[in-house]
Amino acid sequence: MIPPQEASARRREIEDKLKQEEETLSFIRDSLEKSDQLTKNMVSILSSFESRLMKLENSIIPVHKQTENLQRLQENVEKTLSCLDHVISYYHVASDTEKIIREGPTGRLEEYLGSMAKIQKAVEYFQDNSPDSPELNKVKLLFERGKESLESEFRSLMTRHSKVVSPVLILDLISGDDELEVQEDVGLEHLPESVLQDVVRISRWLVEYGRNQDFMNVYYQIRSSQLDRSIKGLKEHFRKSSSSSGVPYSPAIPNKRKDTPTKKPIKRPGTIRKAQNLLKQYSQHGLDGKKGGSNLIPLEGRDDMLDVETDAYIHCVSAFVKLAQSEYQLLLGIIPEHHQKKTFDSLIQDALDGLMLEGENIVSAARKAIIRHDFSTVLTVFPILRHLKQTKPEFDHVLQGTAASTKNKLPGLITSMETIGAKALEDFADNIKNDPDKEYNMPKDGTVHELTSNAILFLQQLLDFQETAGAMLASQETSSSATSYSSEFSKRLLSTYICKVLGNLQLNLLSKSKVYEDPALSAIFLHNNYNYILKSLEKSELIQLVAVTQKTAERSYREHIEQQIQTYQRSWLKVTDYIAEKNLPVFQPGVKLRDKERQMIKERFKGFNDGLEELCKIQKAWAIPDTEQRDKIRQAQKNIVKETYGTFLHRYGSVPFTKNPEKYIKYRVEQVGDMIERLFDTSA
C-alpha cells in the first residue's frame, strides 16, 4: 500500500501537469484561430490580386498585339524604302558615272573600275527586271564606252612603257651563261611595277567582265615589236661598234659589277682569227709562202666585217632565248592561262622568223661562196651551227607549248647548215685535188704554195669545231641518222676527212712540182711545202687528229722531207763531180805533167768554178723560209762541198798545171763555204 504522503505528492504532480497541458491546449487553440483568420485574409488578398491580374491581362494583350503589328508595318515600310532607294540608284548610275567614264581611267584606275562595277550591276538589274527600259540602253552604251576606254588605256600603257632593251643590258644578260662563278641574274623590268599592276587589273577585268580577247592581240603585237627591235638593236650595236672602234662590247669576260659595263675585245666564236694568227706566227718563223696559183680565194686578209656579222648573229640567237624567257614570265601575269601559249607563240614569231631568215641567208651565202670557191665565207657556218646546237636545248624549253611549225624552225635551220657545211667540206677537198697547175702562178723561189697555206689554214679552222664538222660529215652518212652517231664516230670521220685533204694536197703538190724545169727547185718546192704542212700540223695540234686514223703521218712527212733534201743535194753533183777523186788524173809526184793532164786539171777547176758560181747565183734566189731547215741544208751541203773541194785543192793547188794559177784557183775553201752560206737568202 502507498503511503499517504507519496499519494498526495503524486496527485499534486499530476494536477500540475494537467494544468500545464490545459494551458498549452488553450495556446494552440488561440494560434489556430489566428492562423485561420490570416488564411482567410490571404485568400481574400490573392483573390483580389487574381482578379486584378485578369483585368490587366485583358487590357494589355490587345495593346501588345497592336504594337507587334505596328512594328511589322514599320519594318515593311523601311524595307520598301530601302528597295526603292536601291532601284532608284540604278536609274542614277548613268548620270553619276558618265563624267568619270568620259574622262577615262588614266591616273584613277581604281575609281574607274568601281564605276564600271556599278554600271555592270545596273545592266544586270535592268536586263532581269526591265529589259524594255530605256535606262538599259543607256547603261549598256556607257558600259561599252567604258570598256573601250579600258582597252585604249591598256594599249596606251603597253605602248608608252614598253621599251626596247638596250644592247649593253642584253649583253650583260647573256654574259651570265659564260661566268665561272655564280652571280645574281640580271633582271629585266619590261614595265614599271605600278604600270604592270594597272595592266594586270585591266586585263583581268576585260577577261572577267568585258568578255573581250582583243587586248591579247594588242599585247602580243606591242611586245613582239619590242622583242624584234631589241634583237635588231643588238645587231646594229655590233655593226656600229665594229665600224667605230673595232671592239664591240662583249660579255666574254663580264664585269663583276653589272651596273658599270665597259667595252671589251670581242670574243670570237670561231677560229678564223686564231688560225690567221697562227699563219702570222709561221711567217715570223719562216714558214709562210708566196702567192701561188691556187683557185681558192685566199683566207688571209679577210674582212673583219664577216666576223662581226657572225658574232652579231650568234649573240642575237642567245639574246632571243633570254628575252623570250623574260617575255614569257611577263606574259604569265597578264594573259589568261588558257591563252598564254598561243599568245606567246604569236609574240615571238617576228623575232624568230627574222633569225631564221638571216640563218637561211647565211646558208644561201655559203652556197654561193662554195660555187666561187670562197671557203673563207663558208667558215662562218661552223661557229653559228655549233652555237645553234648548243643553244637548242634552251630553245626547245622556251618553245614548249608552241605550234609544231614554230618548234621545227630551228631544227630545220640546223639541218640546212649541216648539209651546206658537209657540201663545203667535200668541195674543198675536191678543189685541193683539182687545183690547176699554172706555170706563171708558181712561186719562182720554190717557197710554200698558196694552195698549201690555204688548205692548212682551212683545216686549222676545224680544230675548234671538231664536233660540229664531224657531225656535218656524219649527217651525210647513209648508215647513220641525225641522232645515232657517237662523238667517237664523228671524230674518226673528221680525221679521215683531214687525211683525205692532206692526201689530195700532196698529190697536187707533186703535180705542180713538175712545172719546174730544174729538179732541184722542184725538190726545194716540195721540201718547203711538206715542211710547212708538218710544222703546221704539229703547232696547231692537227697532228693528234690526223693520228686517229693515220698513225704514221708524222713519220711519213719527215721521210718525204728528207727525200727532197737528198734530191736537192744531187743538184750539186755536177759541181762536185768535177773535183771528185774518181775523176781526177793520176800522176807521180815530181814528174812533169803532160799537156793532157794539165788541161784536165784546168778543166776540173774551171768546171767547179763555173758550176759553183752558177748554182750559187741560181739558188741564192730560191727560198727556204724555215730557218732551222735552211741552216741544216746549207750546213750539210757546205760540209760536202768544202770537204771535196778541200781535198782537191790540197792535191792540185800546188801542182804547176798553169802559169796563171789565180785564173783557176779562184776560191779558198772558206770562200766556198761562205758562198754556200748565202744560198736561199734573197736579202744577201
Which of 159-168, 279-288, 300-309 shows the lowest per-residue confidence on average (mean pLDDT)?
279-288
The grid coordinates listed for 353 are: 622568223
Would you state the cell numbers that stand for residue 499, as one nine-digit string? 687525211
Q: Under a CB-based contact definition with an 8 Å cutoff, are residues 513 and 540 in contact?
A: no
- Give the mean model confidence (pLDDT) for residues 304-316: 83
- Dump pLDDT digits (tens) for 47-67: 888 888 888 878 788 887 777
Helix (H), strand (E), coil (C) string for 569-583: HHHHHHHHHHHCHHH
pLDDT of residue 682: 62
Q: For residue 307, which amino acid is it?
A: D
Q: What is the predicted pLDDT for the residue at 275?
A: 43
Tell me what pLDDT residue 281 has: 47
Cα angle for residues 301, 305, 306 (degrees, 5° grid) = 80
What is the model's pLDDT at position 244? 59
pLDDT band (50, 70, 90) for residue 3:
confident
pLDDT of residue 248: 46
Of the listed ranges 219-228, 267-276, 432-441, 638-647, the one predicted with least confidence: 267-276
Q: List pLDDT tens digits, range 204-242.
A: 998 888 777 788 999 999 999 999 999 999 999 988 876
Spatial separation of the C-alpha atoms in residues 175 and 215, rounded to whole Å: 34
Range with the lowest mean pLDDT among 89-98, 496-505, 526-535, 620-629? 89-98
Asked if 616 and 679 touch (Cβ cutoff 8 Å), the reply is yes
State the first-to-last Cα distance of the chain, in angstroms, to the nearest integer: 197
Closest CA to 143 of 173, 170, 122, 172: 122
- The confidence band for 294, taking pLDDT boundaries of 50, 70 and 90, is low
Q: Round to whole Å and give the CA distance between 377 and 306.
A: 8
Mean pLDDT along residues 379-406: 93
Q: Is the pLDDT assigned to residue 587 strictly greater than 80? A: no
| Residue 232 buriedness (CB in 10 A; 0-12 / 13-18 / 19+) | middle
Per-residue confidence band for 590, with pLDDT thresholds at 50, 70 and 90: low
Q: Is 683 a residue whose pLDDT tops 80? A: no
User: What pLDDT, in 10s, does the model give residues 321-367?
Assistant: 999 999 999 999 899 988 999 999 999 999 999 999 999 999 999 99
Q: What is the mean pLDDT of residues 123-142?
A: 82
What one-character DSSP code corresponds to residue 186? P
Q: Which residues contact 664 (CB under 8 A, 6 or more apart)?
A: 601, 602, 605, 606, 609, 657, 658
pLDDT at 392 over 90: yes
One-letter identity of residue 561: I
DSSP H stretches of helix in 381-486: 381-398, 404-407, 409-434, 450-461, 466-475
* Mean pLDDT score, 252-262: 35
Q: What percent of the chain has pLDDT over 70?
A: 83
The radius of gyration computed from the CA coordinates of the chain, to the nearest angstrom, equals 56
Round to whole Å and give the CA distance between 644 and 672.
11
DSSP 551: T
Question: Does pLDDT of 476 surpass 50?
Answer: yes
Total Cβ atoms within 10 A of residue 481: 10
Q: At what angle do helices 409-434 and 450-461 cross, to 10 degrees?
A: 150
198 torsion bin: left (phi>0), alpha (psi -120 to 50), beta (else):
alpha
Least confident segment among 4-18, 89-103, 132-146, 416-430: 89-103
Contact, 442 vs 248, CB < 8 A? Answer: no
In angstroms, the Cα distances linking 187 to 86, 323, 675 are: 50, 11, 73
User: Are the C-beta atoms of 350 and 228 separated by less than 8 Å?
Assistant: yes
pLDDT of residue 589: 61
The total of other beta-carbon atoms located within 10 Å of residue 270's CB is 22
The pLDDT of 462-489, averaged and rounded, is 75
- Closest C-alpha to 635, from 603, 604, 594, 676: 676
Predicted pLDDT at 554: 92
> Is residue 268 pLDDT above 70, yes or no?
no
User: Which residues are within 8 A (CB) of 363 and not within 5 positions of it... i.e. 6 or more apart?
Assistant: 381, 413, 416, 417, 420
Residue 684 above 50 pLDDT?
A: no
State percent of the chain over pLDDT 90. Answer: 44
Distance CA 250, CA 175 (A): 8
| Amino acid occupying residue 403 | A
Lowest mean pLDDT among 93-97, 422-426, 495-499: 93-97
CB count within 10 Å of CB 648 equals 21
> What is the residue-averaged pLDDT of the chain?
82
| Amino acid 463: pLDDT | 86
Mean pLDDT of 565-571: 94
Is the pLDDT higher at 429 or at 292? 429
**Residue in this structure with the C-alpha cell 595592266, named with its chain if needed:** 199
- For the ranges 6-15, 168-177, 568-577, the maximum mean pLDDT occurs at 568-577
pLDDT in tens, 457-468: 999 888 888 888
